[in-house]
Amino acid sequence: MGIFNKIFKSNCSCGSCNEKEASEESVIKKEGIMNIKILGTGCKNCINLTDNVKKALLNLNIEANIEKVTDMAEISSYGIMSTPGLVIDEKVVSYGKVLKPEEIEKIIEKL
């Protein structure tokens, strides 16, 4: 609660994200569809990794749920100490670097 009983909502710590973006990309989990999480604060590298994941999925013609995780407690629960992190179906496949779409495609094909 803020001054004069006003409620303030906090955005991502990077300042580039907003609540509207999060609500637009709300995750609808469907059975049989790959679930991908991008772990990070919303920095430039996190955004680039998200874009590269989308390109890889498009190239492979795969449908997936993509969720951005910005909560540091949840990120650390995956054992990630360096962002961005990439989690596919609850398995950490990369952290601390921005993978190229081709690298992401190879990882997905192995799963």
How many domains does the chain divide into?
A: 1
Domain enclosing residue 65, as ranges: 34-106
Residue 13 counted as domain residue = no
Specify if 39 maps to a domain. yes
Catalytic choice (12, 14, 17, 46): 46
Q: Is 12 a catalytic residue?
A: no
Is 46 an active-site residue?
yes
Whether 62 maps to a domain, the answer reads yes
- Residue 53 forms part of a structural domain: yes
Q: CA-CA distances (angstroms) from residue 33 to 48, 54, 63, 89, 92?
A: 23, 14, 7, 9, 17
30 Cβ contact partners less than 8 Å away, ≥ 6 residues apart:
65
3 inside domain: no
Q: What is the pLDDT of residues 21-48, one digit of tens each?
A: 443 343 344 457 999 999 999 999 999 9
12, 14, 17, 43: the active-site residue: 43
pTM of this prediction?
0.72
Residue 45 belongs to some domain of the structure? yes
What's the pLDDT score for residue 17?
52
Instruction: Establish if 73 belongs to a structural domain.
Output: yes
78 within a domain of the structure (yes/no): yes
How many C-beta atoms lie closer than 10 Å to residue 82's C-beta?
10
